Structure 1
Amino acid sequence: MKKVMLTALCALSASSLSQAHDLWVYAQDAKQGKPLQAVLGYGDNFPAGDPIPEKRLHIFPPLELVTPNKTEALQQQGENYHYVSPQALGAGEYKISSTYRPTFWSKNADGWKMQNLSEVPDAHYCEQSSMYATTYFNIGGAKVSEFAQKPVGLELEIVPLVDPSQIKPMQVVPVQVLYNGEPVKGATIIGTADTLTKLDWDAVMDHREPQAFSGKTDKNGVMNLIPLVTGNWKLKTSHEAEFPDQKICQKKKMYSTYTFSVK
């Protein structure tokens, strides 16, 4: 009986953590001949960003700007979630990626601690959390190439299998989940759009973000998304494994998002 109750508590704890915050990225201003203005979104206020708490800043390395030929770090400027490119952008295809470094989170009767089980011996649940986020854009009339449908190379990643810049409402959009470059069968993908979340902002702030779509991937890690409304969309998925040393932590959990616009 105790084992069943502990399992339920662990599941509830994991669910609470996964719903508490998402990580996403988007291009706030991307024009040819101007530096990129990019936002690291972390929390609930999708698609806008919020200031990141000082005690969590160390978890986030700089956003990265990815092209078919190179990857470079963006520079933090202004608010701590705002980034710019070192140079003006030329015509071309780009991706922005973000990472939340592997971080231990344990929960005891007092709540969540940024520590592992050896540091919080009375914790009933621990996970090492990692988060990843990507988005795609092109400017200057650049032709969309296979780059748009290739992974950046993150540990856990959602990749569109169509041109992500031309998605329309009611279009069948295949997307794929990859873990270390391999397809993930049975992964749950949840999608929402700011068109919907703004209709029930109280739910968003209570970690009950309204969802527009949910489905599972097939044996090839592929799921067909059918966006019903225009807006800024966020797809999210997760993947978990046993942590190698159970005395340190119980689970290794990864979370990933992909953002795009439906016009």
Structure 2
Amino acid sequence: MSRTFPRLAHTLLATGLVLGSTASASAHDVWLTFSGPASARCAIVNYGHPDDRPPAFADKVVDLFMITPKGRSSLLDGLAIASDKGIQIARTKPFDDAGHTLLAARYDNGFWVRTTDGLYRNATRRLVPDAAESFWSGKFAKAITGADAPWQEVLGHDLELVPLTDPAKARPGEALKVKVLFRGKPLAGAEVERGDGKTAAAEKDIPKFKTDAEGVAAVTIVKPGPHLLVIDHRAAPSVTPDQARADLYNATLWFSTAAKQR
């Protein structure tokens, strides 16, 4: 999400680690966007926040699919590191896009520990058994390239944002309802954050929308253009307790809306 942080948080985030006590405030996001004309579209994997862009790594992308009403195809082959205005991103080879595509990716940010000396290392408890803190970090991203994409498809990501209506058809003044699923079940009481992936904002200024008992949040659309919805979730104990104490999940949904009000 678009955030500004104190110096300490930036130092911690440079390692890609999220502290359990500040999981929502300090998690880096992974989100998908795209570039190029429809006949030569490229999907882009972004990492960080608008004002804090560590490099995105292609080899951390576990899978990356384009999903259309006709089926799905992998975009992983040829995914490579690229530079966009001095920022390291991961970019796919060009593909043909009719403008109705759902893009989806899983990004394994790995295991992290905080040592008893307060240092952060990309390691597990296997090598640092006395670690003061230990986490696994997984990130799940979706984006749609235009209206009538298969936006309603549930992909089975560990943490997933599923819109209940077509996001590309949402208009300013309307509320877009989004269901949050954690391991396939509704996640109640979670906060969905709204930004655009471009504009930096202080944590206190980021609009947040809480999910109800059914895991549904009503996100107000206030302006046309790009939107980035973000959800963070911490689960303990970890699925792999021999390696980490907790699992940190991040999910995003990127889309763009038109200007005309209904």
**TM-score, normalised via structure 2 length:** 0.76
- AA aligned to 1:13 is L
1:53-68 to 2 correspondence within 5 Å? 57-61=58-62, 63-68=64-69
Q: Which residue number in structure 2 is paired with residue 6 of structure 1?
A: none
Alignment counterpart, residue 40 of structure 2, candidates 28, 35, 41:
35
1:97-246 to 2 correspondence within 5 Å? 97-101=104-108, 103-108=110-115, 109-138=117-146, 144=148, 147-193=150-196, 197=199, 201=200, 208=202, 211-241=205-235, 242-244=237-239, 246=241
Higher helix share: 1
Contact 2:187 2:211 in 1 (8 A): yes
Contact 1:190 1:211 in 2 (8 A): no
Q: Which residue number in structure 2 is paired with residue 262 of structure 1?
A: 257
**Do the aligned partners of residues 173 and 245 (structure 1) sit closer, same or farther apart at CA in structure 2, a change above 3 Å counting?**
closer
**Do the aligned partners of residues 131 and 174 (structure 1) sit closer, same or farther apart at CA in structure 2, a change above 3 Å counting?**
same
What do you get for the CA RMSD once the two structures are aligned? 2.8
Q: Distance in 2 between matches of 1:30 and 1:260?
A: 17
SS at the partner of 1:70? Answer: strand
Following TM superposition, by how much is the alpha carbon of 1:165 offset from its aligned partner in structure 2, in angstroms? 1.0
Q: Distance in 1 between matches of 2:94 and 2:194?
A: 32
The percentage of aligned residue pairs carrying the same residue is 25
Aligned length: 231
Q: Distance in 2 between matches of 1:94 and 1:252?
A: 30
**Do the aligned partners of residues 150 and 124 (structure 1) sit closer, same or farther apart at CA in structure 2, a change above 3 Å counting?**
same
Q: Distance in 2 between matches of 1:121 and 1:183?
A: 34
**Do the aligned partners of residues 30 and 239 (structure 1) sit closer, same or farther apart at CA in structure 2, a change above 3 Å counting?**
farther
Contact 2:63 2:74 in 1 (8 A): no
Q: Which residue number in structure 2 is paired with residue 93 of structure 1?
A: 100
**Do the aligned partners of residues 97 and 210 (structure 1) sit closer, same or farther apart at CA in structure 2, a change above 3 Å counting?**
farther
Structure 1: runs of 5+ lacking an equivalent: 1-11
Q: Distance in 1 between matches of 2:92 and 2:205?
A: 31
- AA aligned to 1:113 is R
Contact 1:192 1:210 in 2 (8 A): no
Following TM superposition, by how much is the alpha carbon of 1:118 offset from its aligned partner in structure 2, in angstroms? 2.7
Structure 2: runs of 5+ lacking an equivalent: 1-17, 83-87
